[in-house]
Structure 1
Amino acid sequence: MASSNNSTVSSNYTTYSLFNKFVHLDGELSDTFYTLWIVLVVINAIIFLVGVVLNSLALYVFCFRTKTKTTSVIYTINLIITDLLVGFSLPIRIIMHYSARNCQRCALVHIFTYFVNMYCSILFLTCICIDRYLAIVQVEASRRWRNPNYAKGICIFIWVFATVVTFSILTMAMQFSDCCIAQILPLMVCEYLFPLVIITFFTTRIMCALSKPTLMHQSRERRMRAVQLLITVLIIFMICFTPFHVRQLAISINPAMPNDISLIVYHVTVTLSSLNSCMDPIVYCFVTNNFQSTMKNIFRKSEPEQTSGDIISVNKGSGSNAIMAFSNAVGTPVALPSPNSTASS
């Protein structure tokens, strides 16, 4: 009986020691490399401000200024929500460091929610890329699957999947005194490597399909926008997500890496992963063809000239306002057409 109690105490101590080390990484950096800590605090503050402003505007545009909620729009709205949650977690992290540094439960909740939202961002970016591929290359075959109801179901699955996988890996890692590749590899495969392979494959496929005559029914502008979207996502993966996962893999393969190097690399790569919330708005520009014009219209005091393709989603006024915008676009006088003129045209 005593032996059982001792083993339980030893197990709890091991778990506590690992958990204590993990949640106090911010404090360790602050105590050891204070200048670097201040620099990262400033960078995170900038990321928070820029990311929250851009994503809040984007959420307003896609929720209230976009009439048709296509599959791409649904995935994008969920991506914006994850980016906002990641952005709001940054000041919470700094506040916790200065006011609740020893609150381990608070740290666990913060770490868990941060990584759930980061991996949701990865998966929603992947969904957007797959949807663009289907819309451009597999037009007829994908009509059934590119359904808003299916997209909503996929989004729910992603939230649940990312939550369960992240919680499982985090719990498993807390039960071991040393990090090993068997613990970190499943997370990397499910929520990073597999999406990266998919995005790379579909980017290559769309670029190869640009020159095929069978796709000429798709406008060149639309195809080029799809390529730009996928290339942008690849760049985001390389800058924001790859350094963090390479560091995780390196630590799992070589646990004997010097602690100072591991500490600095961890905080730098986590900051880069947070930068994702500022870079994703670039992706939004390629999701719909009127996002940029709608954003510009929000900040303009006077009514701007609109292209005919933007009238449906941007102008929500009366019929006369729509006719005025159309007239400005084609360069004709602002007047209601007569029946005779309509017939002759």
Structure 2
Amino acid sequence: MPSASSSGPLAMAAPNATAAAAAWTNVSTPEMPLFHLFAVLDGELHAAFPGLWLALMAVHGVIFLVGLVLNGLALYVFGCRTQAKTPSVIYTINLVVTDLLVGLSLPTRFAVFYGTRGCLRCALPHVFGYFLNMHCSILFLTCICVDRYLAIVQPDGGRRWRQPACARAVCAFVWLAAGTVTLSVLGVTATGGPCCRVFALTVLEFLLPLLVISIFTGRIMCALSRPGLLRQGRQRRMRAMQLLLTVLVIFLVCFTPFHARQVAVALWPDVPHHTSLVVYHVAVTLSSLNSCMDPIVYCFVTSSFQTTVRGLFHQRGAGCEPKSCNVVGTRKSSKNSAHRHILGARPRALTQALANGPEA
């Protein structure tokens, strides 16, 4: 554990780091919010494992650059090139915004560590942005799975719930709920009994959505396995099944490590501090990686998206409007091409790949 005599940025934040570490190891200290603990962990990792800290910062730098470019492009495609704002498109746009949010919070992390020297208030944008993105991504992914379930398995009964106005209301609620949960988690004290509250929030905001996603994904896959449900051929149904499994795998890889670590700390507070510190930073990196994994997988799995992007650049060079630039066709005759255009990865792909179901 770093001491007050440590050099560098950690020295300026030593009192806070010491108190946070004591709270982490369940030592009696004045009550302090978890936000203070999360805000000083960069300094602790830099003091204890400088090589690992530099490696993770390099990874975060790549995440920022890749996520900013690809999510910016995705936001332009879905926001400007998509004319039919279906519920699936609305959820997708909100997911792109959450990915941009966590990407833009990463430069704040560098600035706080190197520039403000342990200022806790200055760390708020990064810490709050990270947790808000994680909660919003989980909730929006759950909404998308429910929307796909209604569109494919319950097309008649769920039609009234699959309206753009309803989707906008759900998105507003998700942002409000995620912000409330984030402030609640960061505001609880890091000592004693309140850990039960952190444990409950972690389980509810992760395990319950995971259960919903798993069940609805299974139901959707069963529906896709019935030849008479959709008009698409066997190969298309198989691609959709692989897509759903990919969504679930990425969800587990990106979000499970952080929540598993939170539960472990709540159940076993005597876990060695350095072990918990390393696991925390690796889990945060995996969770942040989600912000650039979505558009990367979407670009490389969906050839039609690549065609759309190439069409955008070709349009600038040739001054013409290629048909492939329309992500969602505005005419009924373009419906089939819109179907072919969307078999990508995780949330965006899940949104677009099955958005144009039998009734969409």
CA distance in 1 between counterparts of 2:325 and 2:308 reads 10
Residue 168 of structure 1 corresponds to which residue in structure 2? 184
Residue 93 of structure 1 corresponds to which residue in structure 2? 109
Post-superposition CA distance 1:242-293 (Å, at most 9, x none): 0111111111111101111111111010011000001122575699995443
Q: How does 1:1-345 map to 2 (within 5 A)?
A: 14-16=30-32, 20-172=36-188, 174=189, 176-178=190-192, 181-217=195-231, 223-224=237-238, 226-281=240-295, 291-300=305-314, 301=317, 310=324, 313=327
Aligned residues: 302
Taking a change above 3 Å as real, the CA distance of residues 55 and 122 of structure 1, as seen in their structure-2 partners, is: same
CA distance in 2 between counterparts of 1:36 and 1:79 reads 30
Work out whether residues 133 and 206 of structure 1, in 8 Å CA contact, stay in contact via their aligned partners in 2. yes
Structure number with greater CO (CA < 8 Å, separation at least 6) is: 2
CA distance in 2 between counterparts of 1:98 and 1:69 reads 42
Bigger shift: residues 122-131 or 236-245:
122-131
CA apart distance, 1:240: 0.7
Taking a change above 3 Å as real, the CA distance of residues 88 and 232 of structure 1, as seen in their structure-2 partners, is: same
CA distance in 2 between counterparts of 1:17 and 1:189 reads 19
CA distance in 1 between counterparts of 2:274 and 2:198 reads 21
Post-superposition CA distance 1:172-228 (Å, at most 9, x none): 2x2x42476512223223321111111111111122122324414466566455434
TM (normalized to structure 1)?
Answer: 0.78
CA apart distance, 1:314: 7.9
CA distance in 1 between counterparts of 2:36 and 2:196 reads 22
- 1:15 aligns to what SS in structure 2? coil
Post-superposition CA distance 1:87-136 (Å, at most 9, x none): 01111111110111321112234312320121101111121222222222
- 1:103 aligns to what SS in structure 2? coil
Taking a change above 3 Å as real, the CA distance of residues 312 and 120 of structure 1, as seen in their structure-2 partners, is: closer
Taking a change above 3 Å as real, the CA distance of residues 18 and 153 of structure 1, as seen in their structure-2 partners, is: closer
CA apart distance, 1:48: 0.4
Bigger shift: residues 130-139 or 79-88:
130-139
Residue 332 of structure 1 corresponds to which residue in structure 2? none
CA distance in 1 between counterparts of 2:307 and 2:34 reads 51
CA distance in 1 between counterparts of 2:162 and 2:129 reads 29
CA apart distance, 1:25: 0.6
Taking a change above 3 Å as real, the CA distance of residues 226 and 283 of structure 1, as seen in their structure-2 partners, is: farther
Residue 335 of structure 1 corresponds to which residue in structure 2? none
Work out whether residues 200 and 234 of structure 1, in 8 Å CA contact, stay in contact via their aligned partners in 2. yes
Work out whether residues 63 and 77 of structure 1, in 8 Å CA contact, stay in contact via their aligned partners in 2. yes
Work out whether residues 226 and 286 of structure 1, in 8 Å CA contact, stay in contact via their aligned partners in 2. no
CA distance in 1 between counterparts of 2:167 and 2:268 reads 40
Which residue identity lines up with residue 255 of structure 1 in the other structure? P
Work out whether residues 297 and 304 of structure 1, in 8 Å CA contact, stay in contact via their aligned partners in 2. no
Where do 5+ consecutive residues of structure 1 fail to align?
A: 1-12, 317-321, 323-345
Work out whether residues 75 and 124 of structure 1, in 8 Å CA contact, stay in contact via their aligned partners in 2. yes
CA distance in 2 between counterparts of 1:218 and 1:122 reads 29
CA distance in 1 between counterparts of 2:293 and 2:33 reads 36
Q: Percentage identity across aligned positions?
A: 56
Work out whether residues 199 and 263 of structure 2, in 8 Å CA contact, stay in contact via their aligned partners in 1. yes
